[in-house]
Structures are given as structure tokens and as C-alpha cells.
Structure 1
């Protein structure tokens, strides 16, 4: 099996690649080749050292003809401009999210029409497709049947692409599955332009002895998923049969509902008051407005049928980050408290 991952040098793309390589199979088929396409080459030496891995760099929209000159059995389309970027730069959002996805789908369609078979296609959508519209207020709990009414350019792009994936699947050009990812926390590395970025920075930076700011009200509730749970959901969706997936409409991955106050309490309990003292509370109206428009509670029978569950609590999410990124925890008191000293 030959697999293409767009956004393959990013955090989720790299983690997904590691998971697939460790498994060795997807849907019962042996993985022989894994192409990681991104603006930059992956920095993960262990990943690129695997003989099954190839890399391709450059702007995805312009590189699609070269990438799709060969055929792929499965495509994981993770590449995207993030929420904050799309609000700040409208043209960037259209280019990176809408135009690129359409071009990639058309390349898959050409592969199918040439007789090579319809590739499996995973599209990483987002809970940003949901919002509160004056005509359709957001319900307290989002269910499988809740109608998306996005309130940001990023959410609009994701919802449009979900519908394209559904229609290309209906026409037999791809075997497509779209899944709405929750905010992934805690992400390692440097901050990105996502409005939700502070939901990782509030923990990553203090654990490294650096200051971080909380831009929203402490009682703001959010829907989160750990990196491991997110990748497990992506793989499960891709391996599900069409009947098990349940139609062509995008599925909501599991969500842990938690307030910022509860998250900080978990940080205090695990890492101690020195970590908590590094956090400031300066409101950012733009970020707060975007985050407040996202749903915080989900119930999905479709997700449950695939055997997927939300993370148990935020403390377990924090422990996962520490276990995966021991060297990134440099605050002396936190290291001692966590048994890393």
C-alpha cells in the first residue's frame, strides 16, 4: 500500500506517520511506502530514516501535479492554514484550504478515471464548522444531526471541503471520510497561528519555565482531544467500512469537555504552583470571540459505534504530554514533582 500524508511534517502528520509505520498495515494491507508532503521537510530523523518514508516539500497547491503523477492507495489530507491565519489573511485561507483540497480531490478523481481505483481519502475537518447563527442558535450539546453553521472563514472552508469529499465519494471518485477534529492539546513545539493555540501554550510553556497568557475567561469550556486519541480516531475512521462509517457526512471525533479553570487546576496538581505562577491573564477579545463560538459538548452515536472514546480527564492528557516530551519539561520544580529530576 502506498500512502500520501499532506501536512506530513507537522505535529499530527508526523505522529500519524509514526503510528502507521509501527502498525505496518492500514485496513489489513501492508504499507510499502509513505509520502510526507509539506512546506518543509520533517525534522524527525527517526521518521525519515525509515526506508518506507519519502518526503516532498513545497506549496501543496503548486506541488499537486508532481505528487499525483504517481498513484496512491490512501491519502490523509491534514494540510491546512489554521483558524487565526484564515481570519487575518482571507486569501491565504482560500488558497491553502479550499483551492488546495479541490485540486487534490480532482487529482484523485483523475487517478480513478484512469483505471487505478478510487483511493481511500481522509479529510481532517474541524469543530469550527459549528457556530451560533441568529437563525439557528448552537445547541448546548452537538449531536450527529446538528447542522453546521460556521462563523469563521476557517470553519466555512472546512465545511465546504466536507461537502466536496462527500460528493466525490458519491460519484465514486474517492472512498472519502471526513472527521471533525477537536482542539488537540497538548501540542509540543512552537506556537502556531490557531486561535486555540493557547490551550497548548498554557501548559507547554510553563512546564518549560516560560511565561504564557490565558486570553479567555477561566470558565470558558472547550472540547479537547489528546494527540494519541486524535490519531487513533483518524486511523479508525480511515479503516472503517462504509457501513460502519455511516453514510458520507463528516463524523465528530470524541471530545473531552473541560473548562480552562479545570485545566489549570490539573496543571497545578501535576506540576505545582511554580508552573501556575508563570501564567498571566490578559484578555484577547478576538481569540475569546472565536473560541466562545465553538461548541464544547458533543454526543455521537456514530463515534461510539467505531469504539472511540474521549480522554478520561485533562490530568491524563497532561501526563501523556510529559511522557512523550520529557526533555521539554525543564522547570526544575515541575521535573522534581513529576519524577523527572
Structure 2
């Protein structure tokens, strides 16, 4: 089996690579080749008998993926993206990376006759927005309130249509807010949701830019990777004609997150959090829904954590 990953140098891409190399198979087939693509050359894993090709490539350039697609990969994970705040600040960049690349990718699959290739794209809770019901289901209309969400929603519809036409075997997984992300804060509007836990638990200061009453729909990095792997295993026959849905997560308020920080890190950790309201961040994150039924994802075998403390415990266990 040959698997291609765009955005392979990102934290989700790196974790997915590690998981695939460790398992050495996907969808019941032995993994023989990995092609890792990003703006910077992704790290090459210790892969045993798996052939790994890692390359720095600007996939927004015309024809950039033609050589890779000509090799007829079995699975493509499309993780490359410009994150929310950056896409809001630079419309052209967001459109080029978050939408134009997706269109080029499905058109490439069409040209190379990759109707049987499973294309798994990571979308986002940001695809929702506007005047929403209290609890959303899989068929709640998309009405994004920022450019990042709009670009993801357009890409979802494109993949759905190409799958309907039998040009690719697409699957779009809308990701909850991912916590606790490793590394340092980035340009994502939701970056604070990790930093208000990660930094204080490391004895460093962090800023909370939103009201603590704000609710978020969250999932841990490990569970997101589980979902990406599982997504390649789900048969197109059971997916049916609509190929996009929200992954199951848990609803938690920022206040509950900070209380969990106090429980696991004590008052000393709590003292590292300061509150500096940021209207731009709150406007973006506050437009995202925080409660879903997730009936379809649950039926297809996707899972979530049971409790927010499980997410924090997983972070602490990984750090130990």
C-alpha cells in the first residue's frame, strides 16, 4: 500500500506518520510506501522495510502533485492548510492553500483515474457558524463566519461532488478544536485552548483571550489520529452519498478547562494564566458550535474521550 500525506511536517502529520509506521498496515493492507509532503521537508521516520519519500514542495504551484499522483497512491491524507487567524488576515493565501490546492488535488485524481483512491481531508468545526440550533446534527447547514471555515466548506462540497461522480473515494472529517497541541502557540484562533494548559503545566505564562464562559468542542491529538486511521478503513459503500461529517468530541467551557488546570497543576499553575480579551479571536472562536449529536460518526465507529480530564491526563502521560 502506498500512502501520501500533505502537511506531513505538521504536528498531526508527524503523529499520523508515527502511527502508520508503527502499525505497518492500513485498511487490512501492508504499508509499503509513504510519501511525505510539506513546505519544509518532513522528518523521515525509522521505517524498517517501508520505503519513505520525504520532500519539501509548494503544492499550491500548478502541477506540483502530478508526479506523486502518477504513482497511483492508495490513500491520500490531505492535512495541508493555512490556519484560521492566518486565513482571515490573508484572504489570497487562505484561498490558495485551503481551497485551490484541494481543487488541484481532486482534479489530479480525476486526470490520473484514481477513482479507487481514498482521499481523507481534515476539515474543521469552523465550517459551521451563524444562527445555529443548540445541538447540531450531521445535516446542519454550513454557514461559516470566517474565511478559513468558508474555504474548508467549499473544499468539502468539492470532494463530495467528485466522490458522487466516482472520480475519487473521498471522506471529509470535520475536526473539533484539538487540545492539548504540542509545541508553541501558532496562528490558529484556537491556539489559546492548548496554551492555557500546556504553558502553565510547564511553569510558563499563558494568555486567555476569551471569556471563560465560552464553550468549545474538543478532542485530543491522539484521538484525532485514531480517526484519521479509521477513516481509511471505512468502506465507501457505508459512507453513502454524503462524505463529510463532524467527528465526536466533548463539550467543555474555558472555565472548566482552567479548573482542570488547577486540579492537576495546583494554584501555582493557575497563577501563570492571565486574561487579556481579544475581540478578533473571540469573534472567530465564538462563532464555532460546541455541541453535536455525532450519530453518524458514532455509527461508523469513530470515538471520543469520555471526559476532559482524560485529555489532560494523556498530555501529562506523554510528557512524562
Partner of 2:8: 8
Unaligned 5+ segments in structure 2 are none
Shift of 1:49: 7.7
Checking the alignment, whether the CA contact within 8 Å between 2:34 and 2:50 is kept in structure 1 is: no
- More moved, 14-23 vs 291-300: 14-23
Q: Which of 123, 126, 129 in structure 1 is aligned with 2:127?
A: 129
Residue matched to 1:331? none
Equivalent in the alignment of 1:78: 79
Structure 1 residue 301, shift from structure 2 partner:
1.3
TM-score by length of 1: 0.89
- Tell me, what secondary structure is at the counterpart of 1:235? helix
Q: Is the 8 A contact 2:42 2:55 kept in 1?
A: no
Q: Contact 1:182–1:253 (CA<8 Å) still a contact in 2? A: yes
Show the counterpart of 1:98. Answer: 99
CA distance in 1, matches of 2:175, 2:60: 23
Matched residue, 1:254: 248
The aligned residue for residue 20 of structure 2 is 20
Query: What is residue 163 of structure 2 aligned with on the other side?
Result: 169
Q: Is the 8 A contact 2:76 2:118 kept in 1?
A: yes
Aligned positions of 1:150-169 closer than 5 A: 150-169=144-163
Distance 1:95 1:49 in 2: 36
How far the C-alpha of 1:249 sits from its partner, in A, is 3.5
Contact 2:42/2:56 (<8 A) preserved: no
**Cα deviation 1:122-164 (Å, max 9, x = unaligned):** 11111111001xxxx2111111121111111111110110011
Aligned-residue Cα RMSD (Å) equals 1.6
Count of aligned residue pairs for this structure pair: 318
Q: Matched residue of 1:280: which SS?
A: strand
Q: Secondary structure of the residue that 2:112 maps to in structure 1?
A: helix
Deviates more, 1:154-163 or 1:266-275: 266-275
Preserved contact between residue 109 and residue 118 of structure 1 (Cα < 8 Å): no
For structure 1, list consecutive stretches of 5 or more residues without a partner in the other structure. Answer: 327-341
Residues 1:297 and 2:291 aligned together: yes
Alpha-carbon distance in 1 for matches of 2:215, 2:135? 12
Which of 196, 200, 204 is the equivalent residue of 1:202? Answer: 196
| Contact kept? 2:212, 2:253, Cα under 8 Å | yes
Residue 68 of structure 1 deviates from its aligned partner by 2.7
> What residue in structure 1 maps to residue 208 of structure 2?
214
The 1-side partners of 2:290 and 2:13 are apart by 25
Instruction: Report the more deviating stretch, 226-235 or 306-315.
Output: 306-315
Q: For 1:285-326, what per-residue CA distance to the aligned partner results, in whole angstroms no more than 9, with x for missing partners? A: 000011110000010211111222321111110111122223
- CA distance in 2 between counterparts of 1:47 and 1:191 reads 28
Structure 2 distance, partners of 1:69, 1:190, is 37
Distance in 1 between residues matched to 2:84 and 2:42, nearest whole Å: 23
Match of 1:21, SS state, is helix
Matches within 5 A, 1:1-341: 1-43=1-43, 46-47=45-46, 51-62=50-61, 63-112=64-113, 118-132=116-130, 137-326=131-320
Q: How big is the shift at 1:196?
A: 0.3
Deviations 1:270-296 (A, max 9, x none): 111111110100100000011110000
Q: 8 Å contact 1:111–1:118 — kept in the other structure?
A: no
Instruction: Give the 3-state SS of the residue equivalent to 2:277 in structure 1.
Output: coil
Instruction: Write the deviation string for residues 34-57 of structure 1: whole angstroms up to 9, x where unpaired.
Output: 1110011234x6457874322111
TM-score of the pair, normalised by structure 2: 0.95
Report which stretch shifted further, 206-215 or 288-297.
206-215
For 1:41 and 1:171, locate their aligned partners in 2 and report how far apart those are by CA, in whole Å.
34
